[in-house]
Amino acid sequence: MSLPHGIEIVLAPNPSVYTGSGTNTVAIGTRDHGCVVVDPASESADHLDRLADIVTGYGGLSAILITHGHHDHLDGATSLRDRFEAPIAAWSREAHPGVDIELRDRQLLRAGRRTIEAIYTPGHRFDHLCFLLPQSQTLLAGDLVAGAGTVLISPPEGDMDEYLNSLRRVQLLRPACIVPGHGPVIEDTLALLADYIRHRQAREKSILDLIRTAQIGVDAITESVYAGLDASLLQLARQTVRAHMLKLQRDGAIERVTDCCGTDEWRRAS
């Protein structure tokens, strides 16, 4: 789909198993009135030069916004700040040691003549923000969702309860389109958000069904729930299983036990 005028995506050259084809860096602004850049994700000279050309075309850079503190979203932030003397803004200085402005939930920012609203959406990471453009109901979603597949929830910085709550919060915003941190722009936004919630609920049910029948460890659950998954991805799947199990433990549905060899296993709560 074509994005609203004044929103440009520049794909960072950082493809990997975590990032897919790379991270979507986004510039938002009004010609001759300046812009902001969201998630300048690479130190690549080519990437930074492309962003610099866009910034110059808009007439300057007012801020660099960071959705969360993973390197594949902020690696170029310091270089871009040094080039344009623009502040780095994020939820917390824990996201990036060079953060100049700590943002608040529902804080309003300016990008040229546009308004941007910071929306606190923890879960993928404790400091995660989405950025909403109210005029067009365009949501820059970072790693809340992806254009293809799902996102990693990895404890302790990731939390499944918070993640599901953040998905539900974004549902209430009813975005018209979503620019994810990775993958293509999403048009059928409400269907995707509902699918994400159903997917996590189904995964949780599968885990509970296994634990109801046996005392079992994370590795065995992962191999059962993710049967057929490429071995190179099993470690990522194991982290998400742990996030589900910690949620179920807090819900009082399961409890951790230690077997005779000192290995942690899980069983139905007594």
| 85 in the same domain as 46 | yes
Last residue of a domain, one of 129, 160, 187: 187
CATH for 38: 3.60.15.10
Which helix (H) or strand (E) segment is 219 a member of?
helix 218-225
| 93 in the same domain as 12 | yes
pLDDT at position 261 over 70: no
Q: What is the pLDDT of residue 1?
A: 61
Buried b (16+ CB within 10 A) or exposed e, 3-34: beebbbebbbebeeeebbbbbbbbbbbbeebb
Q: How many domains does the chain contain in total?
A: 2
Distances (CA, A) of 45 to 17, 21, 58, 175: 23, 18, 20, 33
Q: What is the pLDDT of residue 82?
A: 95
Residue type, 20: G
Cβ-contact 34, 4 below 8 angstroms: no
| 245 in the same domain as 157 | no
Cβ-contact 70, 80 below 8 angstroms: no
The CA distance from 165 to 18, in Å, is: 23
Last residue of a domain, one of 161, 187, 213: 187
Name the least confident of 30-39, 174-183, 225-234, 253-262: 253-262
What DSSP state is assigned to residue 225?
H
Name the least confident of 56-60, 96-100, 134-138: 96-100
Residue type, 33: H
Domain range for 221 is 204-268
| 121 in the same domain as 244 | no
| 257 in the same domain as 155 | no
Establish how many alpha carbons lie within 13 A of residue 52's alpha carbon, considering only the half-sphere containing its beta carbon: 15
**Rounded to two decimals, what is the model's pTM?**
0.94
| 154 in the same domain as 38 | yes
Is the residue at 194 inside a domain?
no
Neighbouring C-beta atoms of residue 47, cutoff 10 Å:
24
Is the residue at 162 inside a domain?
yes
| 171 in the same domain as 210 | no
The CA distance from 228 to 21, in Å, is: 23
Question: pLDDT tens-digit profile of 119-175?
Answer: 999 999 999 999 999 999 999 999 999 998 899 999 999 999 999 999 999 999 999
Neighbouring C-beta atoms of residue 51, cutoff 10 Å:
26
Which helix (H) or strand (E) segment is 208 a member of?
helix 189-213
Cβ-contact 29, 56 below 8 angstroms: no
CATH for 261: 1.10.10.10
| 31 in the same domain as 138 | yes
Residue 22's region, left for phi above 0, alpha for psi from -120 to 50, else beta, is: left
Is the residue at 198 inside a domain?
no
Cβ-contact 269, 261 below 8 angstroms: no
Q: What is the pLDDT of residue 2?
A: 73
Which helix (H) or strand (E) segment is 88 a member of?
strand 88-90
Q: What is the pLDDT of residue 50?
A: 97
For the chain, how big is the Rg over CA atoms in Å? Answer: 20
| 55 in the same domain as 162 | yes
Question: pLDDT tens-digit profile of 204-220?
Answer: 999 999 998 888 889 99
Angle at 43 between CA 158 and CA 24, to 5 degrees: 55
Buried b (16+ CB within 10 A) or exposed e, 130-160: bbbbeebebbbbbbbbbbeeebbbbeebbbb
